[in-house]
Amino acid sequence: MREAWFASVLVCAVSVSAEVTPPAEQASGPRVEQAVVCTGVVDRTPHGAGDTFDADVGRLYCFTKLIGIQNETTISHVWYRGEQKVHAQPLAVRAPAWRTWSNKGIPSNGQGAWHVDVVTAEGTVLTTAAFTIR
């Protein structure tokens, strides 16, 4: 009797464990480890990262660190002011872990909500970095 109970508990434990294991397709492919909007990039490191910037900022950068790259590919940083696309920058990705960035001049009358979508070559949005110009 005790052995049958132990076998039932073991089967339940294995079933629960199998349910919480992420599918293999989620673990493969490019993933964004970091995506920030910042005022500059020095030595492949973002500086002045934030989510709110003054209208006189002049230029902003979107810095992205990717991991899990299987083959050389391209991503794009697609910049939006509100819902209007204002700039798209394709960026080469050449190693399993890769840091890259794009930049965009911000007009002095550019107040409002902005965002940058990080997009795969196939068109999948990996993440979005939102920010506000005040």
What does the buried/exposed string (b/e) look like for 72-84 if buried means 16 or more CB atoms within 10 Å of the residue's CB? ebebbbbbbbeee
Segments forming the whole domain that contains residue 78: 24-133
Q: What is the mean pLDDT of the chain?
A: 85
Percent of the chain at pLDDT > 90 equals 78
Q: Residue 32 in contact with residue 126, Cβ under 8 Å?
A: yes
Q: What is the pLDDT of residues 25-54, one digit of tens each?
A: 444 678 999 999 999 999 999 999 999 999
pTM score, whole prediction? 0.78
**pLDDT band, very low/low/confident/very high, at 66 (cuts 50, 70, 90):** very high
**pLDDT band, very low/low/confident/very high, at 11 (cuts 50, 70, 90):** very low
DSSP output for the chain: -HHHHHHHHHHHHHHHHHHHSPPHHHHSS-EEEEEEEESEEETTEEES--SEE-GGG-EEEEEEEEE---S-EEEEEEEEETTEEEEEEEEEE-SSEEEEEEEEE--TT--EEEEEEEEETTS-EEEEEEEEE-
The residue-averaged pLDDT of 56-76 equals: 96
Question: 2 Cβ partners below 8 Å, 6+ apart?
Answer: none
**9 falls within a domain:** no
pLDDT at 89 (0 to 100): 98
**6 falls within a domain:** no
**pLDDT band, very low/low/confident/very high, at 17 (cuts 50, 70, 90):** very low
Q: Residue 37 in contact with residue 90, Cβ under 8 Å?
A: no
**14 falls within a domain:** no
Question: 10 Cβ partners below 8 Å, 6+ apart?
Answer: none
The total domain count for the chain is 1
**112 falls within a domain:** yes
**53 falls within a domain:** yes
pLDDT at 28 (0 to 100): 65
**36 falls within a domain:** yes
* CATH code (residue 37): 2.60.40.10
